[in-house]
Amino acid sequence: MLLALDIGNTNITLGIWNGRSWLHHWRLLTNPAQTADEYGIILKMLLQDAGVLTAVDQAIMASVVPALGHTFSQICTQQLKVPLLTVSSELSMGLTILADVPEAVGADRLVNAVAAYELFQGPCIIIDMGTATKFDLVSAQQEFLGGVIAPGLGLAAEALASRAAKLSHVALEAPPHTIGTNTIHAMQSGLVFGYLSLIEGLVARLKGEHPDRFQKIHVLGTGGLIDLMAPHTAVIDHIDPWLTLTGLRVIYERVTR
């Protein structure tokens, strides 16, 4: 069985692929100070509880947190005793990377691009709402074209509450109306509907600049906050909270077949 690991700045997502389907998914909080021993105990407990601890015999990882990439590499090779494939721009994953500096592109962005193209076999825009809100473009020729990186919704909410003396933290949820008649609803409107406008505006601009703009361009949403946005907009065609794990599975199959 394949253990897939996506190490992000806010969350670590994990999945177990049995060759036909995902048996289990998990999401952990990212803590760069956590040691290999500590994360190793957590991971082995999850695998043991799922009944797959001894069945996992291979692993693949994408990481944007170098310290934790090293940590989970240790866990896989020393504690789980399984070989680990680490995603980088140098890996032959079937994706042509047209960024100016390919090695500077986050591994998660490349993995998402592979997954999106695998799903739709055509041009795509991927919206990943995590620590940052990222928009990445894939062409009809399976090329990673680049994209847009904006501050994440959570970061914006945190900055607003921490830098304005009379504003406090609010729940990240849509208010009843765009016009807020109290401070909480006004902040929620600015955050949720403001980011909706960001998404809709950038999708329109990206489609207009996309080299395949005269074809159907699929818009996919993923990331921990995408479920908050999706019900309020029609520009997102498909939601997959585990898109990165799908990409890791596809890359592993392409590299090892």
For 12-27, write each residue's pLDDT tens digit: 999 999 999 999 999 9
- Positions marked active-site: 108
pLDDT more than 90, % of the chain: 94
Structure tokens at 94: 């079937």
CA distances to 161, 208, 226 from 222, rounded to whole Å, are 26, 22, 6
Q: Which residues contact 113 (CB under 8 A, 6 or more apart)?
A: 95, 124, 126, 136, 138, 144, 247
- 198, 210, 189: which is closest to 236 by C-alpha? 198
Query: Given this model, what pLDDT does residue 165 score?
Result: 82
Q: For 109-147, how does the pLDDT look when each residue is reduced to its tens digit (9 = 90+)?
A: 999 999 999 999 999 999 999 999 999 999 999 999 999
Say if residue 6 is exposed, middle or buried (CB neighbours under 10 Å; 0-12, 13-18, 19+): buried
pLDDT(224) > 90: no
Specify whether the CB–CB gap between 64 and 225 falls below 8 A.
no
Q: What is the pLDDT of residues 26-41, one digit of tens each?
A: 999 999 999 999 999 9
What are the residues whose beta carbons fall under 8 Å from the beta carbon of 38, sequence distance 6 or more?
none
pLDDT at 221 (0 to 100): 96
Q: Say what the pLDDT of residue 164 is.
A: 87
Lowest mean pLDDT among 61-65, 85-89, 155-159, 165-169: 165-169
Q: Whole-angstrom Cα distance, residue 113 to residue 109?
A: 6
Angle (CA) 52-74-102 rounded to 5° is: 105
* pLDDT at site 137: 98
- What mean pLDDT, rounded, does the chain reach? 95
Check residue 163 and give its pLDDT. Answer: 87
pLDDT digits (tens, 9 = 90+) for 156-182: 999 988 888 888 899 999 999 999 999
189 Cβ contact partners less than 8 Å away, ≥ 6 residues apart? 175, 177, 178, 179, 180
- Give yes or no for residue 257 having a pLDDT over 90: no
Distance separating alpha carbons of residues 218 and 118, to the nearest angstrom: 12
Domains, the chain, ranges and CATH?
Answer: 2-86 (3.30.420.40), 122-241 (3.30.420.40)
Residue 55 has pLDDT above 90, yes or no: yes
